[in-house]
Amino acid sequence: MLVLALDTATTDLVAGLAEVSDPADPASPTSCEVIAESVTATRAHNELLVPTVTQLLQGAGRAFADLDAIVVGCGPGPFTGLRVGMATASAFGQALGVPVHGVVTHDAVAAVLDAPSALVVTDARRREVYWARYDAGARADGPDVVAPAALECPPVAVCSVPEQLSEQLPEQLTAQAEQVTYQAPTTAGLLAAADLTATPRPLVPHYLRRPDAVPPKATPRSPALPEVDLSQFRAPGK
């Protein structure tokens, strides 16, 4: 089946197409072949996501009607970027009548690190980071949000963290890691984190905190301002 993978939880806009097939031996893992992929460092997810998907399909000689399933990263991630990917995936799923599977973005990153233990860190903005820790490929802690300097974690083999954030983490944390690198979400990772045989659950975004934009608080009326009876200004018969 043809699967579309999307992730907008980080500054990397990820979109990819993959052919997924069940093996002849049920005990063997599912076969996954990525046939097209775009990973773009940008904050313009809203403007670029749909055109990127359209270009991928056209380049692969496929159409939206050929899609059999969709996998989307559900964060953690900042409110604005994260909802773009999830809303787009949901809209595609409803329009095409295909299942939409949500996965934790950090799980998708850890799935391709190929390490016995890993720490995945992404930018949460507002001087904070999202993080999750993995042992033997399974999530052992997180995801959570914290100030970089306050992040505590047992030693891991690989620490995936954006370069601009690595110096903000505790020095001991990165020094104990065998490898410090940055791994963006990928099509292969998103599919590895998804269970395409399961019944899709409702998509739940992992914001882990309130959005940056909040409704303004109501301004209390000054006691010096008198109440005005507006009925006196109405036209007769109104």
CB burial of 183-205 (b: ≥16 within 10 Å; e: otherwise) equals bbbbbbbbbbbbebeeebeebeb
Checking if the pLDDT of 15 tops 60, the result is: yes
Confidence band for 62, pLDDT divided at 50, 70 and 90: very high
* pLDDT tens, residue by residue, 148-201: 999 999 999 999 999 999 999 999 999 999 999 999 999 999 999 999 999 999
Residues listed for the chain? 238
The rounded percent of the chain whose pLDDT value lies above 70 is 85
Confidence band for 231, pLDDT divided at 50, 70 and 90: low
Checking if the pLDDT of 99 tops 90, the result is: yes
d(CA 73, CA 170): 28
Q: Which domains does the chain have, with CATH numbers?
A: 1-105+184-211 (3.30.420.40), 113-182 (no CATH)
Q: How many CA atoms lie within 13 A of 233 on its CB side?
A: 3
Find out whether 173 and 153 touch, Cβ atoms under 8 Å. yes
What is the model's pLDDT at position 57? 98
Q: Among residues 13, 2, 67, 34, which one has the least CA distance to residue 189? A: 34
Q: Among residues 155, 168, 100, which one has the least CA distance to residue 129? A: 168
The rounded percent of the chain whose pLDDT value lies above 90 is 81
* pLDDT tens, residue by residue, 123-133: 999 999 999 99
Confidence band for 30, pLDDT divided at 50, 70 and 90: confident
Backbone phi, psi, residue 222, to 5° = -70, 135
Contact partners, residue 31, CB within 8 Å, separation at least 6: 20, 21, 22, 23
Confidence band for 228, pLDDT divided at 50, 70 and 90: low
Residue with tokens 């979109």: 15
